[in-house]
């Protein structure tokens, strides 16, 4: 699969909101995303789109009125078959700390390393902006997400009781080691190379990033 990562824009917000409701039971209101995007000095939000023939054909079918498996698409006069948003992520950056606020991938595209790819992009942007640490909250029941974060060096450092408003579930607070430490940088480079190779071998795909 070919994918592109782009900066999230205000006009993406309605589509991101629809995608997020497919990913999470406690989605943000659209006003929250608009507020975040109005402070680009301290916030960073991205979207992911497929760049493959299947996505373009599905989008073209939808424009012709056919039923699409990927219904959330932003039409563009320049590209009438513009691929849909299939993933998104964001974080706050304040001084030396980057706080991951969200990472989501639509259900039909999970299991291909796309969430991991979004996380890598956040790491790279945090480093570019001079952050020293990354932190996030994750549901105590979300073993898959925890395993991904641990793979990138995050460890549990506390618990936020009843953090999630939809069901009152607790959240683990996770922190990275110093992301600028040579060991952390080497781990990030190695994991990105391994993921890129896995994606290339599994589907002949490539990754394009315009978000950094």
Active site residues: 137, 149
Q: List the structure tokens of 29.
A: 């209101």
Q: How many Å apart are CA 15 and CA 31, to the nearest integer?
A: 13
Q: How many Å apart are CA 81 and CA 63, to the nearest integer?
A: 8
Q: List the structure tokens of 121.
A: 């992009």
- Distances from the Cα of 107 to the Cα of 180, 192, 207, angstroms: 33, 22, 20
Beta sheet of 87-94, edge-to-edge order? 155-160, 171-175, 133-139, 97-105, 87-94, 43-50, 3-7, 207-209
Strand segments (E) across the chain: 3-7, 43-50, 87-94, 97-105, 133-139, 155-160, 171-175, 207-209
CA torsion 40→44→45→49, rounded to 10°?
A: 110
Q: Among positive and negative, which fits the CA dihedral 25, 90, 184, 95?
A: negative
């Amino acid at each position: 699969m070919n994918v592109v990562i782009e900066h999230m824009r205000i006009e993406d917000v309605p589509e991101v909101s629809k995608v997020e409701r497919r990913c999470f039971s406690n989605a943000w209101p659209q006003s929250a995303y608009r507020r975040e995007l109005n402070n680009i000095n301290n916030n960073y939000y991205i979207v992911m789109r497929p760049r493959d023939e299947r996505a373009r054909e599905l989008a073209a079918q939808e424009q012709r009125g056919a039923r699409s498996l990927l219904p959330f698409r932003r039409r563009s006069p320049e590209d009438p078959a513009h691929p849909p948003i299939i993933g998104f992520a964001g974080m706050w950056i304040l001084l030396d700390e980057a706080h991951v606020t969200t990472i989501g991938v639509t259900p039909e595209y999970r299991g291909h390393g796309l969430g991991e790819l979004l996380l890598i992009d956040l790491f790279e942007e945090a480093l570019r902006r001079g952050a020293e640490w990354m932190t996030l909250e994750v549901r105590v029941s979300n073993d898959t997400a925890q395993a991904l974060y641990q793979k990138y060096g995050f460890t549990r450092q506390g618990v936020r009781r009843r953090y999630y408003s939809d069901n009152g579930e607790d959240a683990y607070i996770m922190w990275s080691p110093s992301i600028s430490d040579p060991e952390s940088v080497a781990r990030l480079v190695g994991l990105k190379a391994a993921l890129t190779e896995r994606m290339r071998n599994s589907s002949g795909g490539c990754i394009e990033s315009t978000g950094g």
